[in-house]
Amino acid sequence: MAEERLRFIEEEIGRLKEENLFINIRTIESAVDGWMVVDGMRVLNFCTNNYLGLANHPRLREAAQAAIARWGVGPAAVRSIAGTTGLHVELERRLAAFKGVEDALYVQSGFNANQAAIPPLVGREDVIFSDRLNHASIIDGCRLAGAKVVVYEHCDPADAEAKIREHLPNFRRGLLITDGVFSMDGDIAPLDGLYEVAARHGVLTMVDDAHGEGVLGRGGRGIVDHFGLHGRFDVEIGTLSKAFGVVGGVIAGKKLIVDFIRQKARPFLFSSATTPADTGACLAAVDLLEESEALVRRLWENTAYLRAETQNLGFDTGKSQTPILPIMLGDVGLAKQFSRRLFEEGVFAMSIGFPTVPRGLARVRVMNTAAHTRADLDFGLEVFARVGRELGVI
Ligand SMILES: *Cc1c(COP(=O)(O)O)cnc(C)c1O
């Protein structure tokens, strides 16, 4: 028994365990790739956001090593004091060119990018219109800004417009924020419709394209490219921790806005720069994406096959339009059991329950990548079928 003042922690943990919501964290014992060693077992990896297989790509590994050889391992400063190296400047220039925007700011993570970008744009006198299923980092960025948050129904421009009409007149300015690809359902935000609504009412716009960067659009240029909305969205948030295979976040858009965020963003001003190894590896990822669309094409071929065959087996894959493939199971206990049985049979795919998804909508989330072969996918499908029948899901 813990001391009296710590008892609340024991009680809360007990409650999480009772409700099947306690997270057991597995240990990865190899590089991130199509197959990995996890808790001592070699398993097919359907669990990571390594969409293009870059996390262990030889070109990125070499670039990281070369960056260490020239620049050392740590920045020992925040970007605005002495932490902006030539590598950072080069990466920002290359990211802006890749995405077809005027300027880009590379920060420590996608999570940080939202903390950095939202508070400078809106404050207590303002209102944020936010999709019901927006990512936690957007929600926290909105909280930090202190603006009034009005939630509109998921992927519903008409509801967003109704909310804007109702609330905008009571505030100084408005900002509409949406995920690009929703990370738990794999559906794509209707960016064209949202843009029209926001433009009609003079509302600022921001899209967080963490799961679309390197995935959607021509050669992985992201959701704005997918919809042909270049220059329309005021701020594009991205991450280099998913398809780009490394770590970091990006804030991209008009130079006026990005320059402003450089002056104001607290994670940029008060937390150290990313390391040379990370920054160098990200540059190599941009090189690869600019050289060839082969990895992006491979990812989408795998995605189409895996989704169709999973549905053919009789599974409910929800609203997925992207490589994020939820196998909808409903009950969180069933989802946990499904994931555990997959793992025992050599397939690593995590169950996801409340609070990450609403109660009663638990699922196992499957993520294929360009690092998977057709034989890998077939192995996975065979295991889905076996476990699905065993647990009475199909
Ligand atoms: C994953 C994710 C992030 C966080 O990105 P990191 O680089 O891992 O911090 C932010 N926003 C969305 C929508 C995400 O899916």
pLDDT tier, 212 (very low <50, low <70, confident <90, very high otherwise)? very high
Q: How far apart are CA 337 and CA 273, in angstroms?
A: 41
Query: What percent of the chain shows pLDDT beyond 70?
Result: 100
Q: Is the Cβ atom of 365 under 6 angstroms away from ligand 1?
A: no
The Cα 242–Cα 16 span in angstroms is: 29
Q: What is the pLDDT of residue 54?
A: 98
Q: Are 123 and 279 in contact (CB under 8 A)?
A: no
What's residue 128's pLDDT?
Answer: 98
Q: What distances in angstroms separate CA 19 from CA 7, 144, 327, 331, 360, one per listed residue?
A: 19, 30, 21, 11, 12
287 and 298 inside one domain = no
Name the DSSP class of 380: H
> What pLDDT, on a 0 to 100 scale, did the predictor assign at position 276?
98
Eight-state DSSP code of residue 126:
-
Q: Is 249 in the pocket of ligand 1 (CB under 6 A)?
A: yes
Structure tokens at 120: 């400078």
Task: Say whether both 267 and 300 belong to one domain.
Answer: no
Categorize the per-residue pLDDT at 21 as very low, low, confident or very high, splitting at 50, 70 and 90.
confident
The neighbour count for residue 132, using CB atoms within 10 Å, is: 12
Tell me, in angstroms, the distance from the centre of ligand 1 to residue 113's CA.
9
Residues 35 and 138 in one domain: no
Could you give the angle at the alpha carbon of 353 between the alpha carbons of 347 and 355, nearest 5°? 145
Residue 115 Cβ contacting ligand 1 at under 6 Å: no
Same domain as 138, residue 84: yes
pLDDT greater than 70 at residue 106:
yes
> Pick from 21, 50, 39, 45: which is nearest to 342 by CA?
45
Q: Decide: 228 and 74 in contact? Cβ < 8 Å.
A: no
d(CA 166, ligand 1 centre) in Å: 30
Is the pLDDT at 360 greater than 80? The verdict is: yes
Query: Where does a domain end: 231, 266, 291?
Result: 291
Mean pLDDT calculated for residue range 32-37:
97
Residues 227 and 282 in one domain: yes
- What confidence score (pLDDT) does residue 1 get? 67
Active-site amino acid positions: 183, 211, 242
Best residue among 48, 131, 134, 135 to mutate for probing ligand 1's pocket (most ligand atoms within 8 Å of CB) is: 135
- Per-residue confidence (pLDDT) for residue 23, from 0 to 100: 86
Q: What is the CATH number of the domain that holds 354?
A: 3.90.1150.10
Site to substitute for ligand 1 among 50, 241, 247, 324, most atoms within 8 A of C-beta: 241
Predicted TM-score (pTM) above 0.75: yes
- pLDDT 10s digits, 136-192: 999 999 999 999 999 999 999 999 999 999 999 999 999 999 999 999 999 999 999
Q: Round to whole Å and give the CA distance between 90 and 183.
A: 29
* Residues 286, 361 within the same domain: no
CA distance 174 to 208: 17
Write the CATH number for 63.
3.40.640.10
Number of domains observed in the structure of the chain? 2
Say what the pLDDT of residue 153 is: 98
Residue 118 has pLDDT above 70, yes or no: yes
pLDDT tens, 369-379? 999 999 999 99
Domain that holds residue 188: 58-291
Whether 179 lines ligand 1, by a CB cut-off of 6 Å, is yes
Cα 381 to averaged position of ligand 1 atoms, centre (Å): 28
Mean pLDDT over 304-330 rounds to 98
Of 236, 235, 194, 248, residue with least CA distance to 212: 236
| Residue 10 is assigned to a structural domain of this protein | no
Based on the fold, state whether residues 140 and 169 are members of the same structural domain.
yes
Residue 285 in any domain: the answer is yes
What are the residues whose beta carbons fall under 8 Å from the beta carbon of 169, sequence distance 6 or more?
Answer: none
Measuring from atom 6 of ligand 1, which residue has the nearest CA? 110
Give the CA angle between residues 321, 192, 159 to the nearest 5°: 90
Q: What is the pLDDT of residue 126?
A: 98
Residue 354: per-residue pLDDT? 87
Mean predicted confidence (pLDDT) in 245-252: 98
Pairing of strands 174-179, 127-131: parallel
**Mean pLDDT computed over every residue of the chain:** 97
From 47, 105, 111, the mutation candidate for ligand 1 (largest count of ligand atoms within 8 A of CB) is 111
Cβ–ligand 1 contact at 109 (below 6 Å)? yes
